[in-house]
Amino acid sequence: MVTTRATAEESPDRTDRTGRSAVRTLLRLWPYVRPVRVRLFTAAAVAIVASCLALVIPLVLKWMVDGPVADRDPAGVWLGALYLLLLGFAEALLFGLRRWLVARPLAGVEASMRADLYRHLQRLPVAFHDRWASGQLLSRGTTDLMLLRMFLAFPLTFLLVNSVTILVGVIIMLLQDWTLGLVILVPAVPVMVTCVIFERRYASVARRAQDQVGDLTTVVEESVLGIRIIKGFGRHRSQAHAFRALSRTLRGTELHKARLLATIWGVIVTLPELAIGAALVLGTVQVADGELSAGTLVAFLSTALALRWPVDSIGFLLAMSQEAATATERYFEVMDATPEEPAPTAVGSRSAGRNGWAQPAAPGPGSTGLKGDGLRFHNVRFRYPDASEDSPPTLDHIDLHIRPGESMALVGPTGSGKTTLTALIPRLHEVTSGHITLDGQDIAAIPRESLRALVAVAFEEPTLFSASVADNVLMGAGEGAGEPELERALGVAQAAFAHTLPHGTETQVGEQGLSLSGGQRQRLALARAVVGRPRFLVLDDPLSALDVHTEAAVEAALREVLAQTTALIVAHRPSTVLLADRVALLSEGRIAAVGTHHELLRTNAEYAHLMAGTEEADR
């Protein structure tokens, strides 16, 4: 099994990021953080107080050493120990309070971002989903959002807390003894230089790792969905080889990240430790010379040791911040993609509805649906968005009129653009030029939601969801549809088999509907298309997976539906063509001929050849 999706190095999300600021990128999270800012700021303030309490402990030690210890006062020592115990307890309590303050709101932020991402994905055009690997989108909705929640819960707070703690600690040490304080500050410059270099290098590697996780997710997803192909062709070894290759690549990238983190951690840990050692030696000499009290030295060294964790944590806090910045960047790459634009308000419409556009009345039970102008293509041209400008259009100068209540079959050789043409009607793709009208109304002026309520589609590939049979079928109906509509649609599609399933129409069909046969999936997809009694019906080769007898039964029931709607049917078999009133021949992206089946057999050699080939194939 070979994946046709682009890898991370080739995918459309690999845009130029040179010079982008991690801080500026992370600031894009503010709209999501704003509703919970009070609790987050409170949590940060609590953490700062807790850290500063830890810096009070060395001052208590100084008092104990220079006071009760020097005076051999046991009561004073016990009192000092009590102070230390209370300070430690208060610090632990405040850090626990900080965790409680951030847990619930940050889970809400993650849920809100995930919901917005899912909602936005639904609004993005089909062309976007054609270009993007599903694993890349899945990793943005799972791994990346988890990284962002972790960043908001820990690194964001502690970058601030540790900075304040280091600043307060350095002031305390300088007040204790400025010479020793300067010794401690010596490593500050090389540490800051190392952090700047680390940040730039780690950002690139973190981005590469997260993109590779997306590639790996894509391979796993395709392997699960395509398990029948893998097993059927015995390709499990080659697929496993491809998975291992991506895993090794990701492993190498993660090890590169680990080496960078080890390097900065080595610098950040070693240089301050050397400075503390130098301060210890110098302070001991000063105590021996009587220039410094033992309590002051103890307090100074205790303060320096208390700052070890804030300083040591800089490395992985910066690493987590860079990963969060990359995750934010990847998240907003999707959110910044242009969604399908809302339709403009139509002017001069025949009968404006609530949305300001002419709303053709959907036929109810018993309605013939013959009013209006039907479906028209006016000089329509279409070229896929990622195709070069000098390439020939997929569809060119399409002029076609399907009269109200008429069914038209669309016939043509493979690759002639039949499926593309049907996708233009519900605006899954937008026409490059020209326009399409429903009952005289330009579909570009109809809101997509309303348009797709008027036009029902049964695609060539019958996709079902992990839901019950009833839910899958009623997805094509409006609000309030129930058992009567379900039974009628199943009858039209000759899908009575649904009642023989273990739980009837409440049976879960499983992912992609793969627990059903191809013919069963196709009949349920057809039932979904007709259940809502649509004003316009588009069927893309709806009976290709059915046997001859089932096809005949479906065609007989379908004729009643077609009599009450305006339909365009992509057809390959003569039996399907005969469902339609007229036939349009699509050849090389153009309408080559229009007429009845028998007229085209007599007058068009290409059509006669196509029909002869399909009849021979059926035999």
CATH number of the domain where residue 215 is located: 1.20.1560.10
When divided into structural domains, the chain yields a total of: 2
What does the pLDDT average to over 252-259?
89
How many beta carbons lie within 10 A of that of residue 597, not counting itself?
A: 18
Tell me whether residue 253 is in a domain: yes
Let me know whether 315 and 413 are in one domain.
Answer: no
Q: Predicted confidence band at 94 (pLDDT cuts at 50, 70, 90)?
A: confident
- Quick check: 406 pLDDT over 80? yes
Per-chain mean pLDDT for the chain = 81
Let me know whether 323 and 420 are in one domain.
Answer: no
Where a domain ends, among 306, 335, 364? 335
HSE-CB at 432 with a 13 A cutoff on CA atoms is 18
Tell me whether residue 359 is in a domain: no
- CB-CB contact of 318 with 326 (8 Å): no
- Quick check: 291 pLDDT over 60? yes
For the ranges 10-19, 84-93, 380-389, which has the lowest average pLDDT?
A: 10-19
Let me know whether 289 and 396 are in one domain.
Answer: no
Better-predicted residue by pLDDT, 269 or 613:
269
Tell me whether residue 20 is in a domain: no
Domain of residue 495, CATH code: 3.40.50.300
Tell me whether residue 560 is in a domain: yes
Where a domain ends, among 275, 305, 335? 335
Let me know whether 520 and 572 are in one domain.
Answer: yes
- Quick check: 381 pLDDT over 90? yes
- Quick check: 376 pLDDT over 90? yes
Element (H, E) at 377: strand 375-382
Tell me whether residue 18 is in a domain: no
Tell me whether residue 202 is in a domain: yes
HSE-CB at 478 with a 13 A cutoff on CA atoms is 12
Let me know whether 593 and 485 are in one domain.
Answer: yes
Let me know whether 285 and 379 are in one domain.
Answer: no
Tell me whether residue 415 is in a domain: yes
pTM, rounded to two decimals: 0.73
User: Which residue is it, tokens 């060294």?
Assistant: 301
Q: Which residues constitute the domain of residue 435?
A: 375-618
Q: Predicted confidence band at 20 (pLDDT cuts at 50, 70, 90)?
A: low
- Quick check: 377 pLDDT over 90? yes
Q: Predicted confidence band at 355 (pLDDT cuts at 50, 70, 90)?
A: very low
Let me know whether 328 and 433 are in one domain.
Answer: no
Return the SS3 of 386: coil
Let me know whether 317 and 385 are in one domain.
Answer: no
Q: Starting at the edge strand that comes first in sequence, how are the strands of the sheet with 455-458 ordered?
A: 455-458, 536-540, 566-570, 407-411, 582-587, 590-595
What does the pLDDT average to over 357-361?
38
Q: What is the pLDDT of residue 1?
A: 39
Tell me whether residue 222 is in a domain: yes
Better-predicted residue by pLDDT, 18 or 339:
339
Where a domain ends, among 312, 335, 358? 335
Percent of the chain with pLDDT over 70: 89
Let me know whether 422 and 491 are in one domain.
Answer: yes
- Quick check: 569 pLDDT over 50? yes
Spatial distance between the Cα atoms of 69 and 79, rounded to a whole number of angstroms = 12
Let me know whether 186 and 315 are in one domain.
Answer: yes
Let me know whether 479 and 583 are in one domain.
Answer: yes
Let me know whether 203 and 95 are in one domain.
Answer: yes
- Quick check: 380 pLDDT over 90? yes
